Amino acid sequence: MTWALKRQIFYIVVLIVFISLLVFVALYPSLNKAPTCADGIENGTETGVDCGGSCARACLLQVDQISVLWSQTFQVVPGRYNALTYLENHNKNTAVYKIKYRFRFADANNVYIGKREGSTTIPPGMKFAVFEPAIDLGNSVPVYTTFEFTETPVWVSVPQDKIDQLKIFVSNIDLEQADTSPILSATISNSSLFSIRNINVIGIIYDKKGNAVSASRTFVDLLGGEGKKDVTFTWPEPIRGEVINKEIIPIFNIFDINLK
């Protein structure tokens, strides 16, 4: 091997090493990134892809499915109905910010007569309800009502101290004029020091057999820290059957509230 050829090989090796160093310097930051909960890879302390471990999002295999306890429609006036489904989230420390759902209605012959779609939050560790008002079904009478979520829930962990602090209590539940123009009233109280906005309050009336016979909904735009507010539900027609029990369910999106 001549001296000139050796020199050419030396220069080529130096050039290759130099280019390799440049490529390594350019790629090192992306190859050595710290694991995150949004990188699309199961890494770090995660127990799934971008979920579990130190991530706020819970993995689907770690949570229980929502139980749909019952779904029903209630006539408001002929041809117009309210729909309600009663559910339970068994997961004490996980909730869903927003999820889409669908009510479907069928007549006595199980013939499809309509649907209603919407979205709701799923609060952590409690029974709750989803309400849809003023459903116009024309001359059809809904006998069967079904409810389903139409997308996969994104479960997010909620700190226990936040759950403990943000509680709304219900008192002074009273029903008047059940045989004429029913009025259901109650007081809701915010036990925390933080303001809670956009509270969806659902009222349900039960007969002596424990069956729901009617339901309605109202809203509270803002309930200040340690504040109280009276809520009222009204119906244009008498409640059918003997009323034995009343239930008031306040629902709010726990993710919309910052404790800091």
Query: pLDDT digit string (tens) for 96-135?
Result: 999 999 999 999 999 999 999 999 999 999 999 999 999 9
Averaged pLDDT for residues 245-260: 93
Question: Is 25 within the bounds of a domain?
Answer: no
pLDDT at 253 over 70: yes
Domain's final residue, options 158, 173, 196: 158
Alpha helices in 166-206 (DSSP H): none
Q: Locate 186 and state its tokens.
A: 């109650």
Give whole-number Cα distances, 46 to 32, 40, 52, 174, in Å: 17, 11, 5, 49
Q: With cut-offs at 50, 70 and 90, classify the pLDDT of residue 18.
A: low
Q: Which CATH number do you get for residue 239?
A: 2.60.40.3230
> 104 and 151 in contact (C-beta within 8 Å)?
no
pLDDT at 3 over 80: no
Question: Is 74 within the bounds of a domain?
Answer: yes
Query: pLDDT digit string (tens) for 130-158?
Result: 999 999 999 999 999 999 999 999 999 99
Q: Whole-angstrom Cα distance, residue 182 to residue 175?
A: 7
pLDDT at 1 over 70: no
Domain's final residue, options 158, 177, 205: 158
Do 112 and 172 lie in one domain? The reply is no
Cα-Cα-Cα-Cα dihedral sign, residues 212, 218, 219, 224:
negative
Q: With cut-offs at 50, 70 and 90, classify the pLDDT of residue 45.
A: confident
The dihedrals phi and psi of 16, each to the nearest 5 degrees, come to -65, -45
Strand partners, 190: 168
Question: Is 222 within the bounds of a domain?
Answer: yes
pLDDT, residue 25, reads 56
pLDDT, residue 6, reads 60
Do 101 and 191 lie in one domain? The reply is no
User: Residue 101: how many CA atoms within 13 Å on its side-chain side?
Assistant: 23
β-strands 183-190, 228-234: how paired? antiparallel
Query: DSSP letters along 79-122, please?
Result: TEEEEEEEEE---TTEEEEEEEEEEEEE-TT--EEEEEEEEEEE
Do 108 and 181 lie in one domain? The reply is no
Q: With cut-offs at 50, 70 and 90, classify the pLDDT of residue 171.
A: very high
By residue range, what is the domain housing residue 107?
54-158
| pTM of this structure | 0.82
pLDDT at 34 over 70: no
pLDDT at 84 over 60: yes
Question: Is 21 within the bounds of a domain?
Answer: no
Question: Is 43 within the bounds of a domain?
Answer: no
Q: Is 24 helix (H, G, I), strand (E, B) or coil?
A: helix
Question: Is 137 within the bounds of a domain?
Answer: yes
How many domains does the chain contain in total?
A: 2
Averaged pLDDT for residues 197-226: 95
Do 145 and 61 lie in one domain? The reply is yes
Question: Is 46 within the bounds of a domain?
Answer: no
Do 181 and 259 lie in one domain? The reply is yes
Do 113 and 201 lie in one domain? The reply is no
Do 104 and 175 lie in one domain? The reply is no
Do 147 and 240 lie in one domain? The reply is no
Averaged pLDDT for residues 77-86: 94
- Cα angle 109-100-222, degrees, rounded to a multiple of 5: 115
Do 65 and 138 lie in one domain? The reply is yes
Task: Name the residue among 241, 176, 256, 237 with its Cα closest to residue 209.
Answer: 241
From the number of C-beta atoms within 10 Å of its C-beta (0-12, 13-18, 19+), residue 80 rates as middle
Q: Whole-angstrom Cα distance, residue 250 to residue 6?
A: 84
pLDDT, residue 32, reads 55
Buried b (16+ CB within 10 A) or exposed e, 1-10: eeeeeeeeee
Domain's final residue, options 130, 158, 186: 158
> Which residue did the predictor score with more confidence, 39 or 114?
114
Do 68 and 149 lie in one domain? The reply is yes
Question: Is 171 within the bounds of a domain?
Answer: yes
pLDDT at 85 over 70: yes
